[in-house]
C-alpha cells in the first residue's frame, strides 16, 4: 500500500518522539520532572463540568448541529466575550465559526487559501501546524525568523517584496509558543498595513491571550484598525479554561475568510458535541468568576526562572504563555542538551529545533507540570539542573 506523496514531506510530529523518550524513561523507573508538552495540569472549573453534564442530559444535544457557524449559544457567547475582553465587535451571523480546537482551524485554513505552489508566511520558531498545513496543501512556507534581539517579532521589512506580493497567507501567534514573547497593538497595526499593501490574509493564533502574568493583558489583533478587513483570529478554550481534551475554540474576524474556512470544514467535520459548546459558552460568559490557574503558573514561572538565574543561567521571565524559552550553553545542539537534561537530571524539556531552524540554541520548558501542587516540582527541576553544573 502506498500512501499519498504529501505524507512523505512531513517530519515526525515532535511530541510523538518526546512521548516515546518519556515512556522509555518512565519504564526504567525514572522520576521525571516533565516540562514537555503545554497541557494545563489543573482540572476544568467545576461549574463548566456541571453545565456539560446538564447539557449532555438534554436530547437536543445528541444530534448533529445543523447551524451554519456553530451552536448559537456558543457563537453568541464568543461574540460577547470578544466585545467584553477586547472591545472587538464581531457578528455572530457570519464573522465567528466554531472550531474543534484551534489546531483544526489553523490546519484547515491552509486548505482554504493555499493552492500548490502558493506561499504562506510562517514564523520560526513556531507551533508546527502553520508550516506543515501549508506543505500538506502543496504550498511553500516562507520563513519569518523570530529573533531574540527583535523581541521574537518578525521583521516585516525584511520580507522581499516579490515574496510578499506572491504570499496569500500569514500566520502569527502572540502570546507566543514557544518563545513566550508578546506583541503590542502597534505591532498588529504594522501587520495590518503590510497585509493590506500586499493583499495577504492574516491569521492570528490567539490561543494564549488569557494566560498572562503580573497584570499583563494581551491585545487582540482584531482590535487594530482595519484588521477585520484582512484577517481572522483563532481563540481556544484549551488553555483559558483547562479544556485541552474537550476540543473547542473559534475563529473570528473577516466574513469571507470565515466563510472560506467553513466551506472546507463543513465537508470534513460535523461540528462539536453541542453539550461541549453549551458548557464552553458558560465559561466564556463567566470567565471572571471561575477559578483559574494563573497564580499557580506565575509561582512556577518565578521558581523556575529565578532558580535558573541564581545558578548562572540567563533566563527572561515571560509575561504570558505557558513557556520559558531559554538559550542553552554554547557547544550543544538543542537535541543533545535536552537529551542530557533527560538522562542525567530526569528533566524533560523540548529542544528548540523542534519548532524550526531558528529554535536551535534554545530549549522550551513548560509550566504545566503534572503532580505539582505549589511549585515544588519546578524547584526539584532547578535543584537537579543546578547539580548538573
Ligand atoms: C500556539 C498554539 N496554537 C494552537 C494550539 C492548539 O490548541 P487547541 O487545543 O485549541 O487545538 C496550541 C496548542 O498547544 C498552541 O500552542
Instruction: Say if ligand 1 is within 6 A of residue 102 CB.
Output: yes
For atom 14 of ligand 1, the residue with the nearest CA is 38
Report, as ranges of residue numbers, the positions in the chain whose pLDDT lies below 70. Answer: 14
For atom 6 of ligand 1, the residue with the nearest CA is 103
Give, for ligand 1, the residue of 131, 177, 367 to mutate: max count of ligand atoms closer than 8 Å to Cβ.
Answer: 177
CA distances in angstroms from 114 to 121, 168, 315, 334, 348, listed in the order given: 11, 7, 38, 32, 36
Instruction: Say if ligand 1 is within 6 A of residue 168 CB.
Output: no
Instruction: Say if ligand 1 is within 6 A of residue 177 CB.
Output: yes
- Tell me whether strands 362-366 and 350-351 are parallel, antiparallel or unpaired: antiparallel
CA distances in angstroms from 87 to 94, 220, 276, listed in the order given: 18, 9, 26
pLDDT digits (tens, 9 = 90+) for 74-129: 999 999 999 999 999 999 999 999 999 999 999 999 999 999 999 999 999 999 99
Atom of ligand 1 nearest to the CA of 236: 10
Give, for ligand 1, the residue of 171, 207, 247, 367 to mutate: max count of ligand atoms closer than 8 Å to Cβ.
Answer: 207
H-only helix segments in the chain: 14-27, 46-56, 72-86, 102-113, 129-136, 161-166, 185-198, 227-230, 237-240, 255-268, 274-285, 294-310, 334-340, 376-388
Instruction: Say if ligand 1 is within 6 A of residue 368 CB.
Output: no
CATH topology of domain 5-44+292-388: 3.90.1150
What is the 3-state secondary structure of 52-87?
HHHHHCCHHHHCCCCCCCCCHHHHHHHHHHHHHHHC
CATH topology of domain 46-289: 3.40.640
Instruction: Say if ligand 1 is within 6 A of residue 103 CB.
Output: yes
CA-CA distance, 253 to 69, in Å (whole number)? 13
Query: 145 pairs with which residues across the strands?
Result: 124
- Average pLDDT of every residue of the chain: 96
Give me the pLDDT at residue 37, please: 85
The three cell numbers of residue 185 are: 497593538
- Measured from the Cβ of residue 244, the count of other Cβ atoms closer than 10 Å reads 17
- Tell me whether strands 323-327 and 201-205 are parallel, antiparallel or unpaired: unpaired
What is the 3-state secondary structure of 180-208?
CCCCCHHHHHHHHHHHHHHCCEEEEECCC
Instruction: Say if ligand 1 is within 6 A of residue 172 CB.
Output: no
Report how many helices (DSSP H) and strands (DSSP E) the chain contains, helices first.
Answer: 14, 12
Instruction: Say if ligand 1 is within 6 A of residue 272 CB.
Output: no
CA distances in angstroms from 367 to 94, 194, 197, 205, 355, listed in the order given: 36, 34, 39, 20, 18
Q: Is the pTM of this model over 0.95?
A: yes
CA-CA distance, 228 to 102, in Å (whole number)? 18
Cα of 180 to ligand 1 centre, how many Å?
14
- Tell me whether strands 119-124 and 140-145 are parallel, antiparallel or unpaired: parallel
Give me the pLDDT at residue 388, please: 86
158, exposed or middle or buried, with CB in 10 Å at 0-12, 13-18, 19+? exposed
The three cell numbers of residue 172 are: 502569527
Instruction: Say if ligand 1 is within 6 A of residue 127 CB.
Output: yes
Q: Is 8 left (phi over 0), alpha (psi -120 to 50) or beta?
A: alpha
The three cell numbers of residue 163 are: 515574496
For atom 5 of ligand 1, the residue with the nearest CA is 103
Domain boundaries, the chain: 5-44+292-388, 46-289
Amino acid at each position: 500500500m502506498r500512501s499519498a506523496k504529501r505524507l512523505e514531506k512531513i517530519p515526525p510530529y515532535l511530541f510523538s518522539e518526546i512521548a516515546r523518550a518519556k515512556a522509555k524513561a518512565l519504564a526504567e523507573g525514572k522520576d521525571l520532572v516533565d516540562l514537555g508538552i503545554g497541557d494545563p495540569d489543573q482540572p476544568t472549573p467545576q461549574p463548566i463540568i456541571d453545565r456539560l453534564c446538564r447539557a449532555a442530559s438534554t436530547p437536543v444535544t445528541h444530534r448533529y448541529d445543523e447551524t451554519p457557524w456553530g451552536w448559537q449559544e456558543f457563537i453568541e457567547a464568543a461574540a460577547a466575550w470578544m466585545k467584553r475582553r477586547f472591545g472587538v465587535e464581531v457578528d455572530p451571523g457570519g464573522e465567528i465559526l466554531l472550531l474543534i480546537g484551534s489546531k483544526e482551524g489553523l490546519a484547515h485554513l491552509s486548505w482554504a487559501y493555499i493552492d500548490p505552489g502558493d506561499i504562506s508566511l510562517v514564523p520560526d520558531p513556531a507551533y508546527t501546524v502553520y508550516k506543515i498545513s501549508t506543505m500538506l496543501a502543496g504550498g511553500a512556507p516562507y520563513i519569518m525568523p523570530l529573533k531574540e534581539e527583535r523581541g521574537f517579532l518578525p521583521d516585516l521589512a525584511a520580507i522581499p517584496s516579490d515574496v510578499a506580493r506572491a504570499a496569500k497567507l500569514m500566520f502569527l501567534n502572540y502570546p507566543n509558543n514557544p518563545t513566550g514573547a508578546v506583541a503590542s497593538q502597534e505591532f498588529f497595526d504594522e501587520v495590518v498595513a503590510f497585509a493590506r499593501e500586499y493583499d495577504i490574509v492574516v491569521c492570528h493564533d490567539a490561543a494564549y491571550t488569557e494566560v498572562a502574568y503580573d497584570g499583563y493583558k494581551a491585545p487582540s489583533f482584531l482590535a487594530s484598525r482595519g484588521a477585520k478587513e484582512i484577517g481572522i483570529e483563532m481563540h481556544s478554550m484549551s488553555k483559558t479554561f483547562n479544556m485541552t481534551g474537550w476540543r473547542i475554540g473559534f475563529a473570528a474576524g473577516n466574513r469571507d475568510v470565515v466563510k472560506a474556512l467553513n466551506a472546507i470544514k463543513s465537508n470534513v467535520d460535523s461540528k462539536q458535541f453541542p453539550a461541549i459548546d453549551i458548557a464552553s459558552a458558560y465559561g466564556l460568559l463567566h470567565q471572571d468568576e471561575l477559578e483559574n490557574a494563573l497564580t499557580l503558573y506565575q509561582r512556577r514561572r518565578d521558581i523556575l526562572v529565578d532558580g535558573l538565574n541564581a545558578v548562572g543561567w540567563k533566563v527572561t521571565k515571560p509575561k504570558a504563555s505557558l513557556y520559558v524559552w531559554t538559550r542553552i550553553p554554547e557547544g550543544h545542539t538543542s537535541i543533545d542538551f535536552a537529551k542530557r537534561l533527560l538522562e542525567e537530571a530526569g528533566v524533560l524539556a523540548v529542544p528548540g529545533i523542534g519548532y524550526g531552524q531558528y529554535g536551535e540554541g534554545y530549549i522550551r520548558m513548560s509550566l504545566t507540570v503534572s503532580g505539582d501542587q505549589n511549585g515544588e516540582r519546578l524547584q526539584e527541576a532547578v535543584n537537579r539542573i543546578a547539580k548538573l553544573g
